[in-house]
Structure formats: C-alpha cells, structure tokens
C-alpha cells in the first residue's frame, strides 16, 4: 500500500522546507470538497471557483496559525466566510439604485446533481486502482476503448466487458 | 439509475474535474509566486545584515568623527551622537520590540 502522509505532516513540510509540492498534494485532497461547499453558497460556478481559490490562498498565507486536525474543514470554513462576505457585498450592491441595470449571475446550482456527483466520486474512489485508471482514461481523458485495451494488454472486447462490470458496480453503489 | 444518466453524470464529473484542476493551477501559481518572494526577502535580509548594517555603522562613525572633531567637549550634539548607537543596541536587545520571526 502506498504511503499517504497526513495533513499535519504535509503542513510541516510546507512550513519547514517551503515545499510547494506538499501544499499541492494537500490542496488536491480537498479542492473538490471546498468547491462543493462554495458552490452550495454561491450557486454559481464562476464565483464558486473564485471563492475556492481565495480560500486556499488565504489558508496558505495563514498556515502557520493553523492548530487543527482536519485541514479540509478549516479551508471549508474560510471559503464559507469568503462566500458570505461576497454575498453580503453583492446584496448591498443590488440595493444600490445606480446598479439596478446590472444582471445577477445565473443560478447554475442543483443540489441533487451535486449530491449525485459526490456519490459518483465516492463510488469511483472505492473501485480497485486498475478500474479507477480505466475510468480515468475513458471518461476523463477521452481515450477510446481500443487504445485502453492496447495499454492494458487485453482485447477490446475484454475491456468492454470490464467496463460493463465497472458501470454496473458503480450504479449499484450509487443506488445503495 | 440508467446508463444514460450515468453517462450524463460522468460528463458532469469530467467538467467538475476540469474546474478543480483550473482552481489548483491558479492557487499553485499564487503559492509559487509567494514562495519566490519569500526567498528573495530572505536573501535580501541576509545581504542587508552582512553588508548593510556594517556599512551604516561605518558611515555613522565617519559622520560622528567629523562632528566630534569640530564641536567642543560636552556639547548636547556630542552627547546625542554617542547616545544614539547605545539606544539602538538597547532596542535590538529588547525581545518585545524585536521581530521574533527573524530569530527563528
């Protein structure tokens, strides 16, 4: 099993060795969660991205003051504060009669879709590593099944059958 | 859940992944910039400590020598010239007035 450093170990590396890669590893663990939380409040993808970026940058700059256990929860709290501040600002701006003509951002948030996306991510994470790799290649990198078959050293039909089993497993996990 | 729904979900998930990667890239850009600045500041402080402070001390002594050579004994100006470096040293030795981060 691969060694997975804890949040505290990674933060120590960032603070002591100024290691940017350690922070990148740490951030990749929680970006999706923080982005989901920001999206829930902002209801707009572009603003949620901005809030997530601001939250991680702020967390990086205040890293030496962090005394918690869960880095993700801390950044999520920072993101919530930033989002609420921005929403408050937006609300005040909208009550200003001079800005009446400016359109509010379109509401692109869907709670059900968000839940399903999170359950899909969780279901994929539970798959064996080799199956996760196939999902990554096919759905996220858009690699055709024929190329995947060559990479894995199996026939295309074998990969199709394997993909069918993976999909059935995912559906079952998501329904439960 | 149907196959079509799963496909739609995977498409959405791929889009989400792209957004997350965009966020990561942007944050790392800022983090690396901060790190570069931190390194520059560290070296500037070191160079300042090694050369700047001795240079300032030499300039001060040179100016002091001129003032003392021209002014009569026990004038207020002469007392101030001698007292100033002593006050500066005293201030540096007071932990409350010193920046602790420099000590680490």
Q: What is the ipTM of this complex?
A: 0.75
CATH node for A111-175? 1.10.10.10
pLDDT band per the 50, 70, 90 thresholds, residue B104: very low
Q: What is the pLDDT of residues A89-107, one digit of tens each?
A: 888 887 766 555 555 555 5
Domain ranges of chain B: 3-98
Cα separation of B98 and A125, whole Å?
50
* Per-residue pLDDT at B62: 82
CATH node for A7-99? 1.10.1740.10
pLDDT band per the 50, 70, 90 thresholds, residue B96: low
Taking CB atoms and an 8 Å cutoff, what residues of chain B touch A45? 19
Residue A147 predicted with pLDDT over 50: yes
Taking residues B5-29, report their average pLDDT. Answer: 90
* Per-residue pLDDT at A81: 93
The answer to pTM > 0.90 is no
User: Residues of B76-100 as b/e, b for ≥16 C-beta within 10 angstroms?
Assistant: eebeebeeeeeeeeeeeeeeeeeee
Mean of the per-residue pLDDT values of chain A: 85
For chain A, where do the domains classified as CATH 1.10.10.10 start and end? Answer: 111-175
Residue B25 predicted with pLDDT over 90: yes
Taking CB atoms and an 8 Å cutoff, what residues of chain A touch B23? 31, 35, 49, 52-53, 56
Using an 8 Å Cβ cutoff, are A111 and A66 in contact?
no
* Per-residue pLDDT at B85: 75
Instruction: Note whether B35 contacts A121, CB cutoff 8 Å.
Output: no
A:117-146 residues touching chain B, CB 8 A cutoff: 117, 120-121, 139-140
Mean of the per-residue pLDDT values of chain B: 80
Instruction: Note whether B28 contacts A27, CB cutoff 8 Å.
Output: yes
CA angle A70, A72, A75 (to 5 degrees): 115
For chain A, where do the domains classified as CATH 1.10.1740.10 start and end? Answer: 7-99
Choose the closest CB to A56 out of B16, B19, B27: B27
Instruction: State how far Cα A84 lies from the chain centre.
Output: 20
Residue B89 predicted with pLDDT over 80: no
Long-range contacts of A145-152 (CB under 8 A, 24+ apart): none
């Amino acid at each position: 099993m691969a060694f997975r450093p804890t949040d505290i170990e990674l933060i120590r590396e960032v603070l002591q060795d100024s290691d940017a890669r350690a922070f990148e590893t740490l951030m990749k663990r929680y970006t999706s969660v923080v982005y989901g939380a920001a999206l829930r409040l902002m209801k707009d993808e572009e603003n949620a991205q901005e809030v997530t970026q601001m939250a991680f940058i702020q967390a990086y700059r205040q890293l030496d003051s962090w005394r918690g256990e869960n880095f993700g929860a801390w950044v999520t709290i920072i993101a919530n504060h930033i989002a609420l501040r921005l929403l408050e600002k937006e609300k005040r701006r909208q009550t200003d009669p001079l800005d009446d003509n400016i359109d509010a951002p379109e509401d692109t948030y869907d709670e059900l879709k968000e839940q399903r996306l999170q359950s899909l991510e969780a279901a994929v994470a539970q798959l064996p590593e080799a199956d996760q790799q196939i999902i990554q290649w096919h759905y996220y990198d858009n690699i055709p099944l024929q190329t995947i078959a060559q990479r894995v050293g199996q026939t295309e039909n074998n990969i199709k059958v394997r993909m069918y089993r993976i999909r059935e497993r995912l559906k079952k996990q998501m329904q439960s | 859940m149907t196959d079509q729904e799963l496909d739609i979900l995977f498409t959405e998930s791929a889009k989400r992944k792209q957004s997350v990667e965009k966020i990561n890239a942007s944050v790392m850009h800022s983090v690396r910039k901060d790190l570069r600045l931190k390194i520059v500041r560290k070296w500037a402080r070191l160079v300042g400590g090694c050369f700047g402070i001795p240079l300032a001390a030499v300039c001060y002594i040179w100016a002091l020598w001129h003032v003392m050579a021209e002014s009569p004994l026990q004038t207020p100006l002469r007392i101030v010239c001698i007292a100033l470096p002593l006050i500066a040293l005293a201030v540096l030795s007071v932990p409350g007035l010193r920046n602790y981060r420099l000590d680490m």
